[in-house]
Amino acid sequence: MNPPWLLSERERLQAALAAGRLPHALLLHEAPGAGGEWLALWAAQLVLCAERAEAPCGRCTACRHVLQRQHPDLALVGPIENATQIRIEQVRELSADLALTAHQGGYKVGIFSPADSMNRFAANALLKTLEEPPPRTLLILVVTQPSRLPATILSRCQRVRIRAPQRGEGTEWLRASRGEADWDAVLDVLGEAPVLAAGADPATVIQTAAEMRRDLAEAGAGACDPVATAERWTRTELALRLACFENWLTERIRERLLPRAAMPEVRAGAHSSDRDRLNIRDWFELLDAVRELRSSFDAPINRSVAIESLLRRLSMSRAA
């Protein structure tokens, strides 16, 4: 089902193709989980669809093969196996393929997702193709952090900004595409990222979030074993657990900063006596550390030790 918040972007791409103004390179700058890869596949359908008058029709063999990621003129480039980066060999392979005639005589499409995972050698190799693209080629780069790409890459792509949808848009789309569930609770954990939520199990997200609230309350009270808790977190759903940790900290920082008169009720687990003892600077530093850990999954670090350190800092902040 088409995400409704992407309608204007789809219409602009259709108009550009009809007017012969579709660029050879698009940079889809998405809010995390807002549908960048979905729009990239839709754009591939747009140029590869057999029904030109109503492209993308979604019914023809070409459209179906794009959705199945099996179209012979579509290449998907991302980190492979256990790698965390797109490598130069992958870009060179794509460039060689783009130089060949399209199997179906039309466009050839390459999608890089996440494009901001390219290492510098891969980015330099891609730059050569962007500077001299073969005719009827469409390159699509899906990114959440375009600042991680070289300016020379950014300057050769037409940027399309993909906003995070409003909560109501996201939950309505999730119900229509995935069925009934407590999608509000899921998005409370994952943020306004319905496409990400659509690929998750709602029960797992909600259960993990509840478990994390208990763990963090115990850690803040000095009642947990940081070593055992850290080891347990790293065994399952670590990315989700860190998202929960960040959200939990953000909520409590907000509660600490809001005037008491504006808070007739306090969320469970954040009593006024707790807030009186908090060192707000320590909490902001702890929040930054959690965010840094979330963004460093490609770094060679001992995550269990890093989490243990975060839990000890949480306990010290609450006791200060």
pLDDT in tens, 170-207: 999 999 999 999 999 999 989 899 999 999 999 999 99
* Residue 3, preceding peptide bond in cis (omega within 30° of 0): no
pLDDT digits (tens, 9 = 90+) for 221-273: 888 899 999 999 999 999 899 989 988 888 888 877 765 444 444 343 444 44
Q: What is the DSSP letter of 24?
A: S
Per residue in 67-118, pLDDT (tens digit) is: 999 999 999 999 887 677 899 999 999 999 998 988 887 899 999 999 999 9
Task: Locate 165 and state its tokens.
Answer: 């949808």
Nearest to 199 by CA among 180, 179, 178: 178
List all residues 6 or more positions away from 167 whose beta carbon is below 8 Å from its beta carbon. Answer: 184, 187, 192
- pLDDT, tens digit, 9 for 90 and up, residues 261-288: 444 443 434 444 444 445 778 888 899 9
DSSP characters over 248-317: HHHHHHHHHHS-GGG-SS--TT--HHHHHH--HHHHHHHHHHHHHHHTTTTS---HHHHHHHHHHHHHHH
- Which residue is associated with the tokens 């840094």? 292
Rg (CA), the chain: 23
Best CA proximity match to 75, nearest among 89, 91, 59, 63 = 91
69 to each of 50, 109, 230, how far by Cα in Å? 16, 11, 37
Report helix, strand or coil for 109: strand
> Global pTM?
0.81
Q: What is the pLDDT of residues 10-63, one digit of tens each?
A: 999 999 999 999 999 999 999 989 999 999 999 999 999 999 889 999 999 999
* Per-residue confidence (pLDDT) for residue 254, from 0 to 100: 82
Alpha-carbon torsion angle 37, 38, 39, 42, nearest 10: 120
130-161 pLDDT tens trace: 999 999 999 999 999 899 999 999 999 999 99
- What domains appear along the chain, each with residue ranges and CATH number? 4-164 (3.40.50.300), 201-319 (1.20.272)
Whole-angstrom CA distances from 149 to 31, 84, 94, 119, 138 are 16, 15, 18, 9, 19
Backbone φ, ψ for residue 300 (5° rounding): -80, 75
What is residue 226's predicted lDDT score, i.e. its pLDDT? 93
